[in-house]
Amino acid sequence: MSLVFAAIMSHGPGMTARAERADPAVRDPFFATLDRLRARLEDSRPDAIIVVAAEHFANFFMNNMPAYCIGMAEDYEGPVEDPDWLRIARRTIPGAPGLSRRIIDKVIDRVDVAYAEEWKFDHGIMVPLNFLTPKFDLPVIPVNINCQGPPLTPLHRAYEFGIALGEACASVPERVAIVGTGGISHWPATPNSGKINEAWDRAFLDRWLRNDRDSLTSYGDEETLRDAGQGGFEIRTLVSVAGACKGRTGELWFCEPIPIFATSGFAAVMETGAESAAGAA
């Protein structure tokens, strides 16, 4: 059936590692929004959640870097980082190998996707799960788009990949949720960590909410690097979720700069088609 839930949100490690240092006036409403997002996810009664992430050299390196990879393991381990630093305990997270396999079989019809039966989750997946499935009990299908080590897949391909993911989910009987997670503008892990181009973020999200494929995929990497930092390359994950919900539009729930999180705290949802189906049933 069609996706039952589609959203995007930030994943900065500071959201758990340094939460107490954020301005409560912004942090508290942001975290309250994520609580609301979790409620919406739970209401959608998902069998599994796809997390489209931009991992940070936890599993993939420049010796053999896949542009796209989907996990197909029985379970996953995370966080790969020092758990005391991230403040998320290391644990095993259930996978959905059969469902992964069927989704990969469909996606590979359109996109040359890599697969992995072993995957250590870094903060890019662990932080969103910490807020969306705090018991880490919902089976996860991790998806990675290389956003760190150029050459990078072009944005129009990320959108196409999203379309393939959306169609693959529509072809299976399970109820599948999807969340895209990456920064918008940010300069993470540099001396400029905390720098945020708020206007750029809002303009990007406006394109995302309208699901305007042409404008969403028109950013050049040079322009993104200049205006949104090297962290801006992670918009590929957000663009792919728009592709998975092609033809539908979104709703912004939150976007405010939170420098100690190194990005804007943001959350937005997109219609998937399941809403009207639920109404009809």
Interface residues with another protein (CB under 8 A) are 14, 17-18, 56-59, 61-63, 80-82, 85-86, 120, 122, 148-150, 187-193, 225-226, 229-230
Question: Shortest Cβ distance from residue 13 to another protein (Å)?
Answer: 8
Q: How far apart are CA 195 and CA 241, in angstroms?
A: 25
Q: How far apart are CA 116 and CA 122, in angstroms?
A: 15
Asked if 69 and 113 touch (Cβ cutoff 8 Å), the reply is yes
Question: Shortest Cβ distance from residue 53 to another protein (Å)?
Answer: 12
Reduced to 3 DSSP states, what percent helix, strand and coil does the chain have, rounded to the nearest 5? Answer: 40, 20, 40
Closest CA to 227 of 183, 181, 186, 182: 186
Distance linking the first and last C-alpha atoms of the chain: 14
Closest CA to 244 of 147, 172, 168: 168
Q: Which residue, 65 or 203, has its beta carbon nearer to another protein?
A: 65
Q: Which residue, 148 or 237, has its beta carbon nearer to another protein?
A: 148
Q: Which residue, 40 or 120, has its beta carbon nearer to another protein?
A: 120
Asked if 217 and 239 touch (Cβ cutoff 8 Å), the reply is yes
Q: Which residue, 190 or 215, has its beta carbon nearer to another protein?
A: 190
Q: Which residue, 133 or 197, has its beta carbon nearer to another protein?
A: 197
Question: Shortest Cβ distance from residue 2 to another protein (Å)?
Answer: 34
Identify the residue whose tokens are 């959306």.
166
- Give me the DSSP letters along 169-229: HHTSSS-EEEEEE--SS--TTSTTTT---HHHHHHHHHHHHTT-HHHHT---HHHHHHHHT
Question: Shortest Cβ distance from residue 145 to another protein (Å)?
Answer: 14
Q: Which residue, 6 or 53, has its beta carbon nearer to another protein?
A: 53
* CA 153 to chain CA mean position, Å: 16
Closest CA to 177 of 277, 47, 73: 47
Residues acting as catalytic residues = 123, 186
Question: Shortest Cβ distance from residue 124 to another protein (Å)?
Answer: 9
Question: Shortest Cβ distance from residue 190 to another protein (Å)?
Answer: 3
